[in-house]
Structure 1
């Protein structure tokens, strides 16, 4: 296991991309909460493609809570749920327009291996818009049974306190989703516990990474 220790003074600009209003928080809410608690966020830019006024209000409040103390800049697309592949040109344009407004260190987006067509399309397109950033694809539990399809190999360990806070914030802010049988604390904790087991932590969120560029920051220029 390789552990990279960041500069304690370094703060990150993060881009969060979701097909739907709760995607980012479900897939990467623990990571975002952890960065916020560590005062490691410089700025957060968010793009959500499929939305309605009701869900936009929920997501705005939720993202404010997850990203605190940083206030996120959120862009909603207002596109129909479940129909993003049929709006390919519009999705591509909005993603490119969003990328032109931000220069993130880290991009969090759905997986191209996700069974949901909206998630899958965004996962496929995100690296065409963000070519020079670290992109991590998050996972979302669902009845399709597609967990592991993206072969997650990147982990962010989390404490039990953070995982439970993530679940509590999801329950608090997404009233429109509470009647769904999968939208439960034990669902989110179960997946986080499984991913924690895989990286020798109590809990974790897991991601797939299409490309990682490694480098070494030397204190001085190498000898000729």
Structure 2
């Protein structure tokens, strides 16, 4: 699997759910294309510039040395992606034709955030016949989560995950505990214990082809 598509409803979702895995994939030389659907301007602390989260995401992109041609940022309004469902599907189909991903990493179908649900569902519609699809874990959005796939990680992958999460100072200022080092390493330790590894990230397998 060489071409990997990363789907992030908002600027920080993929980093939170799969940041260690993204680090490992880049280290292994995979060809990534990263799509963000909303820069969530309404989720910023007061008096911050509207493009703050967009610029923080670009810091993440630069940290990973991802080329400008390998990411795309849309400006759909946060919490209203359901109103743009068809447009989102058409954009995903366009990406399918142009990028031809082997693997799609996006939100879980069991994620209860309304924007995450839209991206998870439209990803299935767009890629169900052409790629493997896995959903990352965002525990505060789940009631249940199927840990069907574990991707083993080394400490350096978790270190890079923590480093990129620190780019989101706008969210850290809101005291969101899931940006803490304790959270990232703690959950990765639990998932690693489940697959005989020091660290791991867990995924729901939505579709797998080999």
TM-score category, normalised to shorter length: 0.7 to 0.9
**Number of equivalent positions:** 196
Deviations 1:170-189 (A, max 9, x none): 11x11111123322111111
Scaled by the length of structure 2, the TM-score of the pair is 0.85
CA drift of 1:98 comes to: 2.5
| Cα distance, 1:31 vs structure 2 | 1.2
Q: Is the 2:134–2:207 contact (alpha carbons within 8 Å) kept by the matching residues of 1?
A: no
* Aligned mates of 1:213, 1:33 — CA distance in 2: 23
Q: Which structure has the larger Rg over C-alpha atoms? A: 1
Match of 2:86 in 1: 89
RMSD: 1.9
Name which of 56, 59, 62 aligns with 2:57.
Answer: 59
Unaligned stretches of 5+ residues in structure 1: 1-10, 215-224
Tell me if structure 1 keeps the 8 A contact 2:26–2:32: no
Scaled by the length of structure 1, the TM-score of the pair is: 0.80
Among 6, 30, 42, the alignment partner of 1:16 is: 6
Matching of residues 164-175 of structure 1 within 5 Å: 164-171=159-166, 173-175=167-169
Listed as ranges, the matches of 1:34-73 within 5 Å are 34-38=24-28, 40-41=29-30, 43-51=31-39, 52=41, 53-66=51-64, 68=65, 70-71=66-67, 73=70
- Counterpart CA distance in 2 for 1:150 and 1:201 is 20
| Structure 1 residue 158, shift from structure 2 partner | 0.8
Query: 1:219 aligns to what?
Result: none
Structure 1 residue aligned with 2:170: 176
CA shift, 1:22, in A, is 0.9
Q: Which position in structure 2 is the counterpart of 1:6?
A: none
Which residues of structure 2 form unaligned runs of 5+?
42-50
Tell me which protein shows more helix as a share of its residues.
Answer: 2
